[in-house]
Structure 1
Amino acid sequence: MSHPRATLPRMNVILRESVHDDLETFFAHQAEPEGVRRADFPARDREAFFTHWETKIFAVPENIAYTVVADGRIAGNIVSWPQDGRRMTGYWLGEEFWGRGLGTTAMRLFLELETTRPLYGDVAEGNTASIRLLERCGFTRQGEPEDGYVLLMLE
């Protein structure tokens, strides 16, 4: 006998440029324990987090930062930046927004705005959900994991 499967409703997702007022929500998201574990990236304290965003993201003209808004609520962010001769991208979503396809939708929207190719993502090897998300958006793995991270590229 087949059992009906519950599905979460799709959310209306938009991107807009990130602004200082978004940082409070971003700060809360980056401190969520399961996200920290999956990303294999330690949460920053408040001062370090805000300083990082103000000086390393907002203050650098080559960086692009978008806020992911789902049904009118801040769900996370997607950014891109130059690093070691490559254009990198990364994202962070609040845990309550996981599992609905929101990340894939947001990344596809972002890739219409960030047209630099190749574009790279560097993901913790154990973060299989993020690896799959990037692969669904056309990224391919580049070689074997190195130092616990998988490098993916979009041509």
Structure 2
Amino acid sequence: MMITLREVQPSDLDQFFQFQQDADAAHMAGFASTNPSDRGVFDHHWGELLNSADAIVRTIDFEGQPIGSIAAFEDEGAREIMFWTDKQFWGRGVTTEAVSKFLQDFPQRPVRARVVVDNVGTLKILESLGFTEVGEESSFSNVRAQVVQEKILQLS
């Protein structure tokens, strides 16, 4: 398996936009745009992320193709990580390898992650990399149009 992390290219954004059109993936993420087909909202979000002085953003590349993204940013005094992988790569170890590489490249700790409690795949990935639960909170998910429980995990 050839997974690399690289700087985000403008052409990657078209692929990322397509990934967010997948209703199942958006449901599992829990937090995405209310209207995933609104390219203006998408471009605004990505523009802010890519231009943020405190964000580290990478494209997950599999055999020369962008298959997802991973980012870390400051939130409430701690670095938080988030990632999204194209659904066709779920369950293949690709995301675990990508997150592991990202964490090696950016060793600042602690790192936190928030995961909707029923997103078992993401919880398994994070736990396999040493994240442990440090809290839980209720948040409104615009994708699900309801309040969801999120686990807060941390890697120290």
The residue matched to 2:68 in structure 1 has which SS? strand
Q: CA deviation at 1:76?
A: 0.1
Measured in 1, the distance between the counterparts of 2:113 and 2:32 equals 18
User: Which has the higher Rg, Structure 1 or Structure 2?
Assistant: 1
The residue matched to 1:142 in structure 2 has which SS? strand
Higher strand share: 2
Q: CA deviation at 1:71?
A: 1.5
Q: Which of 74, 81, 84 does residue 76 from structure 2 map onto?
A: 84
Q: Which of 2, 10, 24 does residue 34 from structure 1 map onto?
A: 24
Match of 2:112 in 1: 120
The residue correspondences of 1:4-153 to structure 2 (distance < 5 A) are 11-43=1-33, 44=36, 45-54=38-47, 56-143=48-135, 145-147=136-138, 148-153=149-154
1:55-74 deviation per Cα after TM superposition (whole angstroms, max 9, x unaligned): x2111121100100111111
Q: CA deviation at 1:154?
A: 0.4
Listed as ranges, the gaps of 5+ residues in structure 1 are 1-10
TM-score by length of 2: 0.88
Q: CA deviation at 1:19?
A: 2.4
1:82-139 deviation per Cα after TM superposition (whole angstroms, max 9, x unaligned): 0111110000001111110000000110001121100000111110110110111111
Report how many residues are paired: 143
Aligned residue type for 1:154: L
Listed as ranges, the gaps of 5+ residues in structure 2 are 139-148
Measured in 1, the distance between the counterparts of 2:21 and 2:110 equals 30
Measured in 1, the distance between the counterparts of 2:105 and 2:49 equals 17
